[in-house]
Structure 1
Amino acid sequence: MTLACPPTVSDPSVRSAVARLRHEFPEVGPRSIVLVVRTCREELRGSPDGALPELVERLARQRLRVSLD
């Protein structure tokens, strides 16, 4: 997995995914969740804007689950 640099502009698809995933994965540190979500957002940058929130959250959730196994 490639890690992205944190963007300077806040992205709604990142904010909403981070908020939900922090509750779903309390055992993972908040900085790690933010990094995973931002990385997923960067990797999905060519996707349609309307699909981004769901795609980012799904990909980040999968990666967090795998990291806990």
Structure 2
Amino acid sequence: MTSTDDLALDPAVDLAVARLVDEFRPRLRPQVVGNVVRSCRRDLSGVPATALPELVERLARTRLESVS
């Protein structure tokens, strides 16, 4: 299981949040984007670490598109 501390230290999460905040800025608040990205990271906790950066961002983008 992924702890909150792990998410806080995960550079893939920070990079995904930054890119997606820029992409969704006109439609969603940065806090919403960050929450979705962290939720996606938790949901993908069993995925191999090398695949996480891309999968987290893709899943988050899909979820954000469905709400914006």
Q: TM-score, normalised by structure 1?
A: 0.85
Alpha-carbon separation, structure 1, partners of 2:53 and 2:11: 8
CA distance in 2, matches of 1:43, 1:20: 20
Query: 1:18 corresponds to which residue?
Result: 17
CA-atom RMSD in angstroms: 1.3
Q: Find the aligned partners of 1:10 and 1:22 in 2 and give their Cα distance.
A: 19
Larger helix proportion of the pair: 2
Matches of 2:9 and 2:20, distance apart in 1: 17
Structure 1 residues not aligned, in runs of 5+? 1-5
Pairing 1:33–2:33 present: yes
The 1-side partners of 2:65 and 2:23 are apart by 10
Please state how far the C-alpha of 1:10 moved relative to its aligned partner.
2.2
- Size of the aligned set, in residue pairs, is 63
**Which TM-score applies when normalising by structure 2?**
0.86
Return 5+ residue gaps in structure 2 as ranges.
none
Cα displacement (A) at 1:50: 0.6
